[in-house]
Structure 1
Amino acid sequence: MNDLTLPEPIAAYFAADTQNPEAVARCFAAQAVVKDEGHTHIGLDAIKAWKAAASAQYTYTTQPFTLEREAGSQVVQAHVTGNFPGSPVDLRYRFRLERGLIASLEITA
C-alpha cells in the first residue's frame, strides 16, 4: 500500500481483496451487508460469492489513498485499475466497523 494507516479489518480487506474471497469474508461480521454496483449482499456466504464473482470476472488492483471519518463510518478512497469498463477509477469504500470486524461496506464511484 502506501503510508496510509488503516484500521486492521479494513487493511485486511484490502490485503485480501482480489486474491481470496474466503480471506475477504473473514474481515466481516456474520450478518454484514455489502452494497456494490446496485446490489446488496447480506451475510458471509453472499459476501464470499460477491467477491468470488468479481475476482473471476475481472483482474484489478486497489490502492487506498485517503481515510476519513464521517458519521460513524470510515471512508477510504482508493484508486482501482484493471480490465473492467471505465478503468482506472477512484472509488469510495464506506466501512462501518463493529467489534473489530466490518459490519457494512458500501462501494461507490
Structure 2
Amino acid sequence: MNLPTVVTDFINAQNNFDSEASANCFSETGIMLEEGKPYTGRAAIQGVLKETNEKYQSVMKPLKYIEDGTSSVLSAEVSGTFPGSPAVLQFHFTLKNNLIDYLKVNG
C-alpha cells in the first residue's frame, strides 16, 4: 500500500504512543475531530492525542487507502483497550503542503 509520507509518519507515531510526533504531522492550523469535537492547532491536537493514547493504547494496522486529490480515506484496523476492540475505522484526511490539515475518524 502506497501511503503519503505524512500518513505513514502519523501511523508510526500513533503506534508508538508519541502524541508530540503525531501532532507534528498536522499543519499549524490543522483540525482534528475527536468524538465530534474539533481540536485546532498542534498544541490542542497533541493534548487530545496524549489523552486518548493513555486511555486506549490503540494501535493502527492500515488496510486500504483511497486518495482523491488532497482528500483521502485510510481504513485501518484499530485495536486497544476500548470497548469493541478491534474495530475497523476510517480516517478521513485532507493534506496540505505535505501535512495533515484536517482529520476526521469514524467507524
Q: Distance in 1 between matches of 2:37 and 2:31?
A: 10
For residues 65-103 of structure 1, the C-alpha deviation after alignment (integer angstroms, 9 at most, x for no partner) is 100124641110000111101111100001111111110
1:32 maps to 30
What is the TM-score of this pair, normalised by structure 2? 0.93
**Structure 2: gaps spanning 5 or more residues:** none
What is the TM-score of this pair, normalised by structure 1? 0.91
Aligned counterpart in structure 1 of residue 83 of structure 2, from 73, 82, 85:
85
**Structure 1: gaps spanning 5 or more residues:** none
Which consecutive segments of 4 or more residues in structure 1 shift more than 3 A?
none
Give the number of aligned pairs: 106
Aligned pairs for 1:27-106 (under 5 A) are 27-70=25-68, 72-106=70-104
2:9 maps to 12
CA RMSD of aligned residues (A): 1.2
Q: Distance in 2 between matches of 1:47 and 1:60?
A: 16
SS in structure 2 opposite 1:86?
coil
